[in-house]
Amino acid sequence: MSTDDRTTPDPRFAFDFHAYDDPGDGSRFSTWLQVEPLCRGPEPRPDWVVTSQAAVDTELGILKTGKEADVFLLERAVPDDPGQSVVMAAKRYRDEQHRSFHRSAAYTEGRRTRRSRDARALAKGTAHGRAVAAGAWAGAEWEAMKRFWDAGLPVPYPVQIDGTEILMELVTDDGVPAPRLAQTRPEPDLLVCYLDQLRAAMSGLARLGVAHGDLSAYNVLAAGDRLVVIDLPQAVDVVANPAGMDFLMRDCRNVAAWFTARGLPVDEGELFADLVAAAF
């Protein structure tokens, strides 16, 4: 056998090879089927959710850098199938080292970490501990979003969670990402309509026994005439958490102050009393 025979394969064994690897250009194959079923959003699923194994995820850019997470625009689409294409919001939590803001331990009081290695790492503040904390906040937001969605409350549809990344419905207005309520100056009629919606959302939460815990016009999106509440990882149990009532009161104060400043007076004490009544 000559050297040539060994290096040049018989053409009958040659075939076109495509690596089953991410497509490159910042895209990846859809992670939908990689995540456990429990890490996928609740059923019935909205029909815009792309579940095909052939889908590719492409990052379209950053939407917003927040205090503890960055939100990206992510397209999930089946190449050459315009019917299967959606742009979602991908919220990625940073580990504690890369945050500019640390949630107070008061939020997590009463919550438990099941794995003792994780609990020890959290307590010691090791690198593993910081990663666990980022995953825990993502997990807490995921659970809250699913629960609130199932209860019919106005939150983005939770598509999937993969470690520290949550994919969710992108809330839009006229095809572009919706502004925060704080950036809007609604006409009087719309302002009343917004207040009704926010009150209803807060009562819905109270009926589940929870307060948002960081509610303000910065964590509510205005999708045309519809409001959507976001940023849920710190949702607190108003009964079991010793500080639950304080968080509920603070939510009421923020909401009342914003509407009052926009010309629709809201009494924070009355709002609080209504919500406490709904919670018990």
Using CB under 6 A as the criterion, which residues of the chain lie in contact with ligand ATP when the complex forms?
63-64, 66-69, 71, 89, 91, 156, 168-171, 177-178, 180, 218-219, 221, 230-231
Please state, in angstroms and rounded to a whole number, the distance separating the CA atoms of residues 174 and 219: 20
Residue facing ligand ATP at closest CB distance: 66
State the binding partner of 57 from Mg ion, ligand ATP, none, CB within 5 to 8 A by kind.
none
State the binding partner of 251 from ligand ATP, Mg ion, none, CB within 5 to 8 A by kind.
none
State the binding partner of 96 from ligand ATP, Mg ion, none, CB within 5 to 8 A by kind.
none
Decide whether 219 or 241 has the Cβ nearer to Mg ion: 219
Is 231 labeled as catalytic in the residue annotation?
A: yes
Helix (H) or strand (E) holding 13: none
Of 16, 150, 196, 231, which residue is the catalytic one? 231
Q: At what angle do helices 244-261 and 188-207 cross, to 10 degrees?
A: 170
Is 80 labeled as catalytic in the residue annotation?
A: no
Does the footprint of Mg ion cover residue 254 (CB under 5 A)? no
Tokens of 264: 């629709």
Question: Counting every residue, how long is the chain?
Answer: 280
Of 57, 70, 81, 214, which residue is the catalytic one? 214
Please state, in angstroms and rounded to a whole number, the distance separating the CA atoms of residues 86 and 53: 15
Least separation, in Å, of the C-beta of 219 and Mg ion? 5
Q: Are 166 and 223 in contact (CB under 8 A)?
A: no
Does the footprint of Mg ion cover residue 231 (CB under 5 A)? yes
Close Cβ partners of 231 (under 8 Å, ≥ 6 residues apart) = 66, 141, 214, 219
Decide whether 29 or 218 has the Cβ nearer to ligand ATP: 218
Q: CA triplet 9, 14, 19: central angle to 5 degrees?
A: 120
End-to-end CA distance of the chain: 87
State the binding partner of 117 from Mg ion, ligand ATP, none, CB within 5 to 8 A by kind.
none
Q: Are 162 and 139 in contact (CB under 8 A)?
A: no
Does the footprint of Mg ion cover residue 164 (CB under 5 A)? no
Residues in contact with Mg ion, counted by CB under 5 A, come to a total of 2
State the binding partner of 23 from Mg ion, ligand ATP, none, CB within 5 to 8 A by kind.
none
Q: Are 106 and 243 in contact (CB under 8 A)?
A: yes
Least separation, in Å, of the C-beta of 113 and ligand ATP? 22
Sites of contact with Mg ion (CB under 5 A)? 219, 231
Residues with catalytic function: 214, 231
